[in-house]
Structure 1
């Protein structure tokens, strides 16, 4: 799987500005394929990341990048992410307002 670097590094929007304007940062482009823009996994084997804490998301991406956590796709994707990309992605997906319905 090749990473389209223009999507990852093309525009330099801060996550705060992007979230305030409702625009997803460019680094979410590749994430959308599996996690959708709102962080909802597109199939049952893909976790929902929308609404997770930024600290948790950052740690997972750093672990994939460092090889401490492995997944055939995420390991490849994460290895090209900079620290700024990770902060931006974690801030975006953490800013998603996830809601849950408990079973009756």
Structure 2
């Protein structure tokens, strides 16, 4: 493909990618995560057996799940209530916070 045509294809492709209004803010997400800490912990390590660990999870995954709770696509007694009033920006921020937490594991000796 000649260079001018390739440049045009790349330009058109970037126009088709959705642009976020604002980048996610993990620091704001940390503040928002205070409402999550009873079950999931501020550090993303669950405090109760039925809650999943969130530390180090993919931001995309966390956003998708929160939006599913918010829309009613996914149902959970507590999460549906928590997510229903979150804006897209707040969801991105809290997801960025939990995704930014670095976790490490130590495998047991065999």
Q: With the length of structure 1 as denominator, give the TM-score of the two structures.
A: 0.75
- Say what the alpha-carbon RMSD is for the aligned residues: 1.7
- Describe the superposition over 1:58-92 as per-residue Cα deviations: whole angstroms up to 9, x where unpaired: 00000000111111000000001000110000000
Structure 1 match to 2:89: 84
Structure 2 stretches lacking a partner, 5+ long: 1-23
CA distance in structure 1 between the aligned counterparts of 2:50 and 2:91, rounded to whole angstroms: 22
**2:75 aligned to which of 57, 70, 77:** 70
Q: Secondary structure at the match of 1:73?
A: helix
Q: CA deviation at 1:25?
A: 3.0
CA distance in structure 1 between the aligned counterparts of 2:29 and 2:92, rounded to whole angstroms: 13
CA distance in structure 2 between the aligned counterparts of 1:85 and 1:31, rounded to whole angstroms: 13
CA distance in structure 2 between the aligned counterparts of 1:68 and 1:98, rounded to whole angstroms: 30
Q: Counterparts of 1:22-101 in structure 2 under 5 Å?
A: 25-101=30-106
Q: CA deviation at 1:47?
A: 0.2
Q: Is the 8 A contact 2:29 2:96 kept in 1?
A: no
Superposed structure 1 runs of 4+ greater than 6 Å apart: none
- State the number of aligned residues: 86
Q: With the length of structure 2 as denominator, give the TM-score of the two structures.
A: 0.71
Structure 1 stretches lacking a partner, 5+ long: 1-13
Higher helix residue share = 2
- Rg larger in structure: 2
Q: CA deviation at 1:24?
A: 6.0
